[in-house]
């Protein structure tokens, strides 16, 4: 109930005064206002009226909303039909055309005291509708009517009042909570990681200066084997640079050739008995020593040419060519043209981005459901709609992470569109194959406060309550609700922000209606 500030006060009090034969100057008692809200599939009715006294005139303030677009009805004439519970001909109280959009008046004398079934009917050029309002009692005197109204209980003090006028003008809509068959989804935190083997660091294979015709910038896409630059080794004091090693090989090769010629000559002279056998033996030893020196020199040169360190290079002349070991993008560039680096110093980091790994942290209680995952939807901050991805492979270690107390589950995901970024965090909805029947609301109805989801439930034409809910799953445009709502509840889907503002201004006095 709420105090009435309409013409009904004057009419009701005047009627009571006359009926009781009292003094017109007597103090006027506050008359309670009753209200009701009813819906059909065409219209919403919100009506305010005084306690009903047989034979006395009563004013009904009728607010009618088209549910097709939640706009105010602009035409038509409502009427109230009172049919005795015992049966008989309905008593009709006729209303008038709207005094302003959506607001109608039904004014007339009430039927004799008794119990009635009553209906509000509306006839408009393009719409006809009937609201069955159940039963109502018309009292024999005003005192009994007021006492009954006052005994009906106080209004909910936590209710949010949001008047019809702004509902019609600012933009507003509601939807019924209905049961739906939804895919079961697990909402879990997730992060994008590189694939196993999808990340590589190119390091300096030897100490030297980095050289390149052009330094590739950050974010460049490279192919496997593509040249990234070269390392020009430092000239070593011990002659370990490649030119010295190659010279050493040539020198040893010449020594070996000379030793072999000397050995052949010694064998000819021995055959002619011109030299002793000891001379041939010495020549043979010289050949073996030269061969050993050549083998060692070649090994040192080959070792240098094959020294690629961790960077994936290839020796070319006296420099090492740095090549990309995998295809991907340059995630980090440490190299600078002409700068000197020690062996093993990182120069580039390459990350494969066309395929990524999505790591979801699944609560231990939901871990068995991961075997049934068929589809994944990603709720990414800054993106209005979830991004649906298909996981080609799923794996987990079967071990609960000690820090998060959850099971890290990894999915391989195609990312050729580049919509997912390495290191990005989000909420993943892991959809299982089975469906469950549960209460569902449009996703536009669900708001969050400090991470807690809630909705505004319309409890009356101008009354709302904030209801915190427990989300079970999200499937397309529908949110499955585990707790907090039931089928038949009506939730706000458009204009929730204005209801929120009305909630914040709840301590301010309301202006009410002017009918």
Q: Per the domain annotation, does 160 fall within a domain?
A: no
Instruction: Please write the tens of the pLDDT for every residue from 37-54.
Output: 999 999 999 999 999 999
| Arithmetic mean of pLDDT, 5-32 | 47
Residue 238 banded pLDDT, cuts 50, 70, 90: low
- pLDDT of residue 10 exceeding 50: no
Regarding whether 149 and 21 lie in a shared domain, the answer is yes
pLDDT for res 509:
43
**Greater model confidence, 28 or 260:** 260
- pLDDT of residue 345 exceeding 90: yes
Query: For 183-201, b where at least 16 C-beta lie within 10 A, e where not — what string?
Result: bbbbbbebbbbbbeebbbb
Instruction: Please write the tens of the pLDDT for every residue from 170-228.
Output: 989 999 999 998 888 788 899 999 998 899 999 998 888 999 999 999 999 999 999 99
Q: Which residues contact 381 (CB under 8 A, 6 or more apart)?
A: 426
Regarding whether 397 and 332 lie in a shared domain, the answer is no
**Greater model confidence, 62 or 391:** 62
pLDDT for res 13:
38
Angle between helices 7-20 and 142-150 (to 10 degrees): 130
Separation CA 203–CA 312 (nearest Å): 8
How many CA atoms lie less than 13 Å away from 403 in the CB half-sphere? 2
Separation CA 494–CA 309 (nearest Å): 62
| Arithmetic mean of pLDDT, 410-438 | 88
| Arithmetic mean of pLDDT, 330-339 | 94
Separation CA 407–CA 400 (nearest Å): 5
Q: Per the domain annotation, does 165 fall within a domain?
A: no
Range of the domain at 277: 199-351
Q: For residue 368, give the DSSP letter.
A: G
Regarding whether 251 and 308 lie in a shared domain, the answer is yes
pLDDT for res 12:
41
Place of tokens 């008794």: 114
Regarding whether 341 and 423 lie in a shared domain, the answer is no
Separation CA 33–CA 266 (nearest Å): 134
Q: Per the domain annotation, does 509 fall within a domain?
A: no
Q: Per the domain annotation, does 163 fall within a domain?
A: no
For residues 31 and 56, the answer to whether their CB atoms sit within 8 Å is: no
| Out of 4-13, 287-296, 417-426, 474-483, least confident range | 4-13
Residue 303 banded pLDDT, cuts 50, 70, 90: low
Separation CA 440–CA 483 (nearest Å): 11
Query: For 13-49, b where at least 16 C-beta lie within 10 A, e where not — what string?
Result: bebbbeeeeeeeeeeeeebbbbbbbbbeebbbbbbbb
Q: Per the domain annotation, does 166 fall within a domain?
A: no
Domains identified in the chain, total number = 3
> Does pTM top 0.95 for this prediction?
no
**Greater model confidence, 449 or 73:** 73
The rounded Cα 103 to chain-centroid distance in angstroms is: 41
CATH number reported for the structural domain that contains residue 187 in this entry = 2.40.30.170
**Greater model confidence, 10 or 65:** 65
Regarding whether 372 and 274 lie in a shared domain, the answer is no
Residue 393 banded pLDDT, cuts 50, 70, 90: confident
Residue 325 banded pLDDT, cuts 50, 70, 90: very high
Sign of CA dihedral 38, 44, 48, 53: negative
Percent of the chain residues past pLDDT 70, beyond the cut: 87
| Out of 141-155, 160-174, 225-239, 383-397, least confident range | 225-239
Residue 318 banded pLDDT, cuts 50, 70, 90: low
Regarding whether 146 and 186 lie in a shared domain, the answer is no
SS3 10: helix
CATH number reported for the structural domain that contains residue 324 in this entry = 2.40.50.100
- pLDDT of residue 1 exceeding 80: no
CATH number reported for the structural domain that contains residue 71 in this entry = 2.60.40.1930
**Greater model confidence, 135 or 297:** 135
């Amino acid at each position: 109930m709420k105090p009435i500030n309409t013409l009904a006060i004057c009419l009701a009090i005047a009627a009571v005064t006359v009926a009781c034969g009292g003094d017109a100057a007597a103090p006027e008692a506050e008359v309670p206002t009753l209200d009701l809200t009813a819906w059909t599939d065409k219209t919403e009715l919100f009506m305010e009226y005084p306690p009903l006294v047989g034979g006395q005139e009563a004013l009904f303030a009728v607010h009618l909303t088209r549910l097709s677009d939640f706009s105010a009805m602009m035409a038509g004439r409502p009427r109230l039909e009172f049919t005795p519970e015992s049966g008989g001909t309905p008593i009709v109280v006729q209303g008038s055309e709207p005094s302003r959009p959506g607001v109608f008046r039904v004014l007339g004398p009430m039927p004799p005291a008794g119990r009635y079934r009553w209906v509000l009917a509306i006839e408009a050029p393009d719409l006809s509708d009937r609201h069955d309002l159940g039963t109502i009692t018309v009292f024999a005197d005003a005192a009994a009517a007021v006492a009954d109204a006052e005994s009906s209980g106080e209004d909910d003090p936590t209710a949010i009042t949001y008047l019809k006028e702004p509902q019609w003008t600012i933009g507003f809509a509601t939807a019924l909570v209905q049961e739906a068959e939804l895919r079961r989804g697990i909402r879990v935190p997730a992060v994008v990681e590189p694939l196993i083997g999808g990340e590589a660091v190119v390091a300096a294979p030897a100490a030297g200066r980095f050289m390149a015709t052009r330094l590739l910038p950050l974010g460049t896409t490279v192919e496997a084997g593509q040249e990234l630059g070269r390392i020009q080794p430092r000239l070593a004091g011990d002659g370990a640079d490649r030119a010295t090693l190659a010279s050493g090989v040539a020198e040893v090769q010449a020594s070996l050739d000379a030793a072999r010629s000397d050995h052949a000559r010694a064998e000819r002279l021995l055959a002619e008995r011109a030299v002793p056998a000891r001379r041939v033996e010495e020549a043979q030893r010289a050949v073996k020593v030269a061969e050993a020196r050549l083998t060692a020199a070649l090994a040192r040169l080959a070792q240098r040419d094959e020294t690629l360190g961790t960077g994936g290079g290839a020796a070319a002349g006296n420099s090492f060519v740095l090549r990309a070991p995998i295809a991907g993008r340059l995630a980090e560039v440490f190299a600078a043209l002409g700068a000197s680096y020690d062996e093993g110093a990182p120069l580039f980091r390459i990350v494969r981005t066309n395929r990524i790994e999505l790591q979801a942290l699944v609560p231990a209680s939901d871990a068995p459901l991961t075997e049934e995952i068929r589809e994944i939807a990603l709720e990414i901050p800054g993106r209005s709609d979830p991004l649906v991805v298909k996981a080609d492979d799923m794996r987990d270690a079967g071990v609960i992470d000690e820090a998060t107390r959850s099971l890290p589950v990894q999915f391989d995901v195609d990312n050729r569109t580049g919509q997912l970024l390495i290191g990005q965090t989000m909420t993943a909805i892991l959809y299982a194959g089975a469906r469950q029947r549960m209460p569902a609301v449009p996703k536009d109805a669900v708001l969050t406060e400090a991470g807690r989801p809630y909705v505004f439930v319309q409890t009356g034409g101008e009354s709302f309550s904030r209801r915190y809910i427990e989300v079970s799953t999200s499937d397309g445009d529908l949110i499955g609700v585990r707790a907090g709502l039931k089928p038949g509840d009506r939730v706000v889907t458009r204009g929730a922000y204005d209801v929120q503002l009305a909630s914040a201004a709840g301590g301010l006095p309301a202006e009410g209606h002017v009918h």
